[in-house]
Copies of this chain bind each other. A is one copy, B any other.
Amino acid sequence: MATTIKDIAKKCGVGVSTVSRAINNHPDINPETRAKVMKVIRETGFVPNDSARFLKRTETNSVALLVKGITNPFFTKMIRIMEEYIQEKDYATILRHVDHTEDEVVVAESLIKERRLKGIVFLGGAFTHDEKALRALGVPFIFATIGNMEKIQASVKAAKKSGFAYANIAVDDVEEAKKAVNYLIGEGHHRIGIVTEGMNVPSVGQLRLKGYREALEENGLPYSEDLVYEVKEGIDHYTMPNGYQAAQALMRKNPDMTAIFCISDVLAFGACRAIIDEGRKIPDDISVVGYDGIEEGEYYNPRLTTVRQPVDQMAENAIEFLFCMIEKKRKPENMTMSAELVIRESSGAAKKG
């Protein structure tokens, strides 16, 4: 005789609904109880298909993650953490990547036709958006890692004028970039290249470039456009091929350059590979500093010096805050997190000229 869900419940000493919750990965069950139930299910060879098949089909509420630069491992980690949280809330995660040529708010508008969509997280992308378009979204949303609002003067002014604020979580990109470049200057580097995003994109690239400029100014070093490389359009901005091309071009133009600051780790890996291929040594000939602090940096050869963003904490705070807004417990806020300069093998003292 086939095992039924009742047999399983009896064997486990729990109710049928608990077995059902275990089978359906319902969040509202003690993990140990679930493990026990699943063990018995496996042992008995019970197949919970009927219970699943005849479940009342419903509609699930969902949260959308809109990601610019979806193949950047920095976002992969954040997506995973957020997806886990959303799942615990019994919501579905809708994933949508946004091309560098698309406006993420326009993309969001196409999603909100879906009436079960209860909130949106914008990961990466531009930091200026049309206020009316944002207001029209009609669901709570939060921007993550698009830059610190206090630093985005124009937007802040606009927000103050209209009284419209939106939730935002990021590190202080200007300050953190400045710290990294100050560190390089402290190591004796005076000709420091930077690999950043195109200036036509109002994104963290601009903020990090601002930090770079401020560090130079504070140290009485000249700012030279020859040392600024904007990544190529047409491919995803934060990619290794872009970093590779950037370092090649910077080396060609600036034979006296002793360091490169890349606004993402992925760009930095590409830059490192180009420097190595040129037969030059890291950090003896050229120091490289990245930004983000992804795990790959610890395993690269050389290990990458980087500005580590608190990725886990940022992802958790962002998604938690979004749910607080969905549940009407919080109003939009601007949150700033701290990053950390992690000095590893890819940077060191400048070669004496």
Contacts and interface: CB of A to CB of B under 8 A. Distances in A.
14 contacts: A24-B113, A47-B132, A49-B133, A55-B112, A60-B113, A70-B79, A70-B80, A70-B83, A73-B73, A84-B97, A92-B111, A273-B300, A296-B296, A301-B301
A48 interface: yes
Integer count of this chain's copies in the complex: 2
A7 to B, nearest CB: 16
A4 interface: no
B132 A56 contact: no
B296 A272 contact: no
B83 A95 contact: yes
A282 to B, nearest CB: 9
Contacts of A55: 112-113
A34 to B, nearest CB: 10
A130 interface: yes
Pairs A-B, 6 closest by C-beta atoms: A49-B136, A57-B115, A47-B132, A52-B109, A95-B95, A24-B110
A244 interface: yes
Given A95-B83, A110-B25, A115-B59, A47 B269 contact: no
Contact of A50 (B115, B136, B239, B276): B136
Chain A: interface size category:
35 or more
Given A25-B107, A97-B84, A244 B49 contact: no
A71 B60 contact: no
Nearest to A56: B113
A90 B58 CA distance: 20
A240 interface: yes
Given A107-B25, A136-B53, A240-B298, A95 B79 contact: yes
Nearest to A72: B76
Given A24-B113, A49-B133, A55-B112, 13 more contacts: A25-B106, A47-B133, A48-B133, A52-B137, A57-B112, A59-B115, A60-B113, A83-B95, A87-B96, A92-B94, A94-B95, A273-B298, A300-B300
Interface string A156-176: 000000000000000000000
A151 interface: no
Contacts of A97: 80, 83-84
A62 interface: yes
A93 interface: yes
Interface string A250-276: 000000000000000000011011001
